[in-house]
Amino acid sequence: MQVAGRFHDRKDAGQQLASTLSAYKDSIVLGLPRGGVPVAYEVAKALHVPLDVFVVRKLGVPGQRELAMGAIASGGVRVINDDVIQTLRIPLSTVDAVAAQEQPELERQQRLYRGDGALPDFAGLTVIVVDDGLATGSTMRAAVRALRQSNPKRIVVAVPVGAADTCRSLRTDADEVICLHAPESFYSVSTWYQEFAQTSDDEVRRLLRAALAG
């Protein structure tokens, strides 16, 4: 049974999110791996538009990996979460070290999900960037800034749930931010899902193949 204000799983969240995006029939949907891809798949299916994946890696604070001090994305983009860096007094050398650790995984995911295929040409397109939720927003911000380099017509961030401050702050990067739920008191993305198992590489690849097959 659906709990008020929450989602059963990422499929349910994607279907609910898609209902708010009916105006974007002429677009492309990008899911952030791994958990954003099942949500993005439902959005793309409902809108009858292409689905692709955009690889971003969170830079977790050493000892607190779920807390993002920044993120890296395709195209050599790095975004720093200044609030976390300053509050915890994290030296730049630590950020550099974690980024160097995450870079091989970013490259591995790009090869695994996309093979040798290049990303589509986003110039002049409306790009909807989807994740399963936003906490600090570092990974989403890195994705948006990287995508700007491709000169899309419009970048829309769309998520089922996100911290209110994060959803507001992302409006300085994206052209539009859609958060179905944006609570002021936000603990974690997982608390908004009844089922929140980790999305596997195999599931990401399966959904991308299914989207291509129509």
pLDDT in tens, 158-191: 999 999 999 999 999 999 999 999 999 998 999 9
**Angle separating helix axes 10-18 and 36-47, nearest 10 degrees:** 40
- Tens digits of per-residue pLDDT, 102-131? 999 999 999 999 888 788 889 999 999 999
pLDDT value at residue 5: 56
Distance (Å, whole) CA 55 – CA 47 = 22
- Tens digits of per-residue pLDDT, 56-79? 898 999 998 878 898 898 778 888
Task: Give Cα separations from 50 to 60, 85, 132, 197 (angstroms).
Answer: 31, 37, 18, 25
The label of the residue with tokens 């891809």 reads: 37
- Beta bridge pairs of residue 79: 71
CB atoms closer than 10 angstroms to residue 38: 21
Q: Provide mean pLDDT across the span 122-149.
A: 93
* Per-residue H/E/C for 100-139: HHHHHHHHHHHHHHHCCCCCCCCCCCEEEEECCCECCCHH
Cis bond upstream, residue 34 (ω within 30): yes
Q: Provide mean pLDDT across the span 19-23.
A: 93
Distance (Å, whole) CA 154 – CA 176 = 8
pLDDT value at residue 94: 96
Question: What's the predicted TM-score (pTM) here?
Answer: 0.89
Question: Which residues, 6 or more positions from 119, have their beta carbon under 8 angstroms from its beta carbon?
Answer: 52, 54, 74, 150
Q: Where are the domains of the chain?
A: 10-55+115-213
- Tens digits of per-residue pLDDT, 6-16? 899 999 999 99
pLDDT of residue 211 exceeding 50, the answer is yes
Fold of 10-55+115-213: Rossmann fold (3.40.50)
Buried residues in 54-93 as b, exposed as e (16+ CB within 10 A):
bbbbbbbbeeeeebbbbbbbbeebebbbeebbeeeebeee
Distance (Å, whole) CA 4 – CA 12 = 13
pLDDT value at residue 68: 84
